[in-house]
Copies of this chain bind each other. A is one copy, B any other.
Amino acid sequence: MKTSIATVCVSGTLADKLHACAAAGFDGVEIFEPDLLAAPESPEEIAALAARLGLSLDLYQPMRDVEGVDEEAFAAVLRRAEAKFRLMRRLGMDLVLCCSNVATATVDDDAVSASQLRRLGELAEGYGIRIAFEALAWGRYVDDYRRAWRIVELADHPAVGICLDSFHMLSRGHDPAAIADIPGDRIFFVQLADAPLLSMDVLSWSRHHRLFPGEGGFDLVDFTARIVAAGYTGPWSLEVFNDTFRQTDPRRTALHARRSLRWLEDAVARYAPDATVSRPDIAMLPDSAAPSDVDFVEITAEDTSSVEELLAQLGFTPRGRHRTKPVTLWTAGEARVILNEQHARGQAPRLAAIGFEVDDAEAVDLRMHDLRVPRAYRRTYASEERLDGAVAPDGTEIYWAQAADEGDPAWVREFEHGEPPRESPVLAVDHISLTQPWQVVEESTLFYTAGFALSLDSRTDVPGPQGLVESRVLTAPNGAIRIPLNVAPPILAERGGDGPTVLPQHAAFRCTDVRALARAARTRGFRPLEMPANYYDDIAARFDLADAFVDELRDLHLGYDRDSAGEYLHFYTRTIGEVFLEFVERIGDYAGFAAGTAPVRLTAQRGR
């Protein structure tokens, strides 16, 4: 389908925005009037730039407060409109958005609004321009698309149609079923925005908190499918007012936006096969299931010896060194940790890459390509396993490889001179927490949901000593992949450059008996992150635990949580560079991450 985006979605000057939207692969843009007014280029120059970039100029917007006014005010509306129609001709544009009246309406009468829209349409027609009338969610009299459609029907002019905007309809809870009553060729334009389900005044919600499709709580798939079913064939256009996207690099935001539309297209094709069967321009993404398991976790550093020491204490086996690179492999159970000293000059240990096992590596590859995800590159030599990967928005590299039928994956054989695997209480990777700069967390979420079919399970705010950390958990349906994304408060993100990394990343490993592991590690010289004594007094009171058990937890510096599904025992290593490890034991069906312990951990890490 044809894709479009309002210039207000991204930052920069109008020329910056056009370049960014074209580079991201959009077919066209909506010109948001304030962007044009502030631009030093003339309308003709903007039109020429768009043509050169291959962008159509789909919609000029917005024209406000045009109907529901008295005749004197309407004369001024026509005067103002004519100046804008002339401007639109200079831009070579033929469609303008007219919003329902917010400020100047005095006449609450469909017939009056329709008559005024018809006369505006007659004027527009003379300039070869059409009008798309939109009900704003906070319009003074017209705030519902069903009423806007009645007015358009009454206006009964070929140059007057309707614009449907998902935010204005779904934020008010208006039933989209009546879209079916509107002939497709009377829908002149469609604007798409998602949004988190906030309970706040709709104007602030709209102006600051919109999101790209798939990132909020609206059912945009159903909404869009209904519009396709109604016969609409025009652009699917994004109009997202968002305080963060207004600040970030426009090239990056535009790519993110374009990816969200591709995700939506795929979802609509799957959701409404009947409506899309005759629309070859609405295509699914290549089929690929969520990853079946974590293949490896990679930690990079100029010198990884401090991590090696930790892994040895914690029951991992050194499986040797890669035959062509300064890379070593450590395993325990199904958990594989790669330590990489290549291209890591001056780098303290950090969690640099994750490998997923997938059922169909080729399909993931095609899917990532279709989503225009930037690729990660690893030099491989003849006779080595190929590794396909992508760069996640936070910079972490994510690789995927065909799951082995049984035993170790093929690439393990590239490691030489190691020890044979031995028994370990460590079973596998349990979860991997990735710190997100606040600017990229929506893009990261879409990266994992659209790219790897993970789903967003939960959101929690964890209070730390330097601010609230939002934690959102992405999981695979089979439970084998769990990725909490932790959003650093701006103040930590700012200090990141020179101060200590106060919000490190971490990998957690699932064990059979975490207390046995902690004891064994201690005999090998391991010193865990120390949990404060007050914490143990509290869990004893909170969970009514036996004294001996609490003494054991305290002695080993273990955390504890319990819910109706089961229990969770765990301990943390100290932070090395920008990464730490966690070892966990899940009892029963406990599926959480001990959110109650996290604030204590954050404070303990700060004191290190």
Q: Which residues of A contact B (CB under 8 A)?
A: 8, 11-13, 16, 33-34, 36-40, 42-43, 76, 79-80, 83-84, 87, 198-201, 204, 207-208, 243, 246-248, 438-439, 461, 463, 465-468, 489-494, 530, 532-535, 537-538, 540-542, 544, 599-600, 602-604, 606-607
Contact = CB atoms under 8 A, between A and B. Distances in A.
A39 B534 contact: yes
A332 B350 CA distance: 59
A574 to B, nearest CB: 14
A341 B83 CA distance: 51
A537 B42 CA distance: 11
Contact of A537 (B83, B247, B532, B534): B83
Contacts of A42: 533-534
A468 B243 contact: yes
Given A34-B599, A38-B535, A200-B200, A466 B247 contact: yes
B39 A465 contact: no
Nearest to A541: B83
26 contacts: A8-B463, A11-B465, A12-B465, A12-B466, A13-B603, A13-B606, A36-B534, A37-B534, A37-B538, A38-B600, A39-B534, A40-B607, A42-B533, A42-B534, A76-B544, A80-B541, A80-B542, A80-B544, A83-B541, A84-B541, A87-B537, A243-B467, A243-B468, A243-B489, A246-B466, A248-B491
Contacts of A603: 13, 38-39
Contacts of A43: 534
A222 B255 CA distance: 52
A446 B54 CA distance: 52
Contacts of A607: 13, 40
A410 to B, nearest CB: 44
A199 B553 CA distance: 45
State the number of copies, please: 2
B490 A38 contact: no
B11 A466 contact: yes
A243 to B, nearest CB: 6
A62 to B, nearest CB: 13
Contacts of A468: 208, 243, 246
Given A34-B599, A38-B532, A198-B201, 12 more contacts: A12-B465, A34-B463, A36-B534, A37-B538, A37-B599, A39-B603, A40-B530, A42-B534, A80-B541, A80-B542, A83-B537, A83-B540
Contacts of A602: 38
B439 A491 contact: yes
Contacts of A535: 37-38
Nearest to A606: B13
Contacts of A80: 541-542, 544
Contacts of A541: 79-80, 83-84
Nearest to A534: B37
A246 B538 contact: no
A246 B463 contact: yes
A200 B204 CA distance: 10
Nearest to A81: B541
A40 B532 contact: yes
B34 A246 contact: no
A491 B438 CA distance: 10
Nearest to A12: B465
Contact of A79 (B198, B199, B544): B544
Given A199-B201, A494-B494, A246 B467 contact: yes
Contacts of A492: 247
A352 to B, nearest CB: 24
A557 to B, nearest CB: 12
